[in-house]
Amino acid sequence: MSKNKYIWSLDLSTTNVGAALWDNKGELVELKHLKLKVSTKVNVEDRFIYKANTFKEYVMMFKQRINNEFDGEIISVVIEEPLGGSNNLKTVATLFEFNGICRYIIYEILGIIPIKISVHESRKAFFPEFVFNKKVKGEITQVLSFPNTVEWKETKKLMIWKKVASIYPNIDWILNDDGTPKDMCFDMSDSIVVGVAGLKLLNIL
């Protein structure tokens, strides 16, 4: 009897990992997060290696859980590429290095080469209402343009989370006392955004 098929979408940072699991019809099955903690005694330059090891253990346990609890297997993995717009080149380099290590871990354990999707492309797929055609260098191209408002300029991640929360109202988010989402919620919502983009790329949505 064939196993159930699943797609896994991830938003990787060196602090939290957002992880969304989808069935092969594009339905959200679960949403998780992995907090990456390392002792402050570890050299700052080496911490991402320890965090990568934590991620490796997580992927190994995840593979076993999908097999045992879901009688399933992962057929595709979608990962959002780091946003390289920071002025801190060292931070950008670390993010890309960590992302590459994690992609190799996924390949090593799941036997799958992850699909990489840029932040821009994932947001274009998730926010079609903000995509319009524009002539660039004589060619018509699709451009993503968020509203020119204070909310979107200053709290873009919060606005993205709000749309995710409205589409998937059954998610139990981790909130602060004032009802605002804790930081890991943004990684979780980003994993859904890149997941939707990946599902569209795979012609599932």
pLDDT in tens, 135-188: 878 888 899 999 999 999 999 999 999 999 999 999 999 999 999 999 999 999
- Determine the pLDDT at residue 165: 97
Angle between helical axes of 119-126 and 156-167 (0-180°, round to 10): 40
Q: Name the most confidently modeled range: 35-39, 93-97, 195-199.
A: 195-199
- Determine the pLDDT at residue 86: 57
Q: Which of 36, 34, 38, 29 is nearest to 61 (CA)?
A: 34
- Determine the pLDDT at residue 87: 56
- Determine the pLDDT at residue 90: 77
pLDDT in tens, 42-89: 888 888 889 999 999 999 999 999 999 999 999 999 999 987 655 567
The CATH class of the 4-201 domain is alpha beta
Question: Higher-confidence residue: 39 or 64?
Answer: 64
- HSE, CB side, 13 Å, CA atoms: give it for residue 160: 25
- Domain-by-domain residue ranges, the chain? 4-201
pTM: 0.92
Which residues are within 8 A (CB) of 21 and not within 5 positions of it... i.e. 6 or more apart?
6, 7, 8, 28, 29, 30, 31, 32, 66
Q: What percent of the chain has pLDDT over 70?
A: 97
Q: Tokens 């991640």 label which residue?
A: 157
Strands (E), the chain: 4-12, 16-23, 28-35, 72-80, 115-117, 131-136, 139-144
- Determine the pLDDT at residue 135: 82
- Determine the pLDDT at residue 91: 77
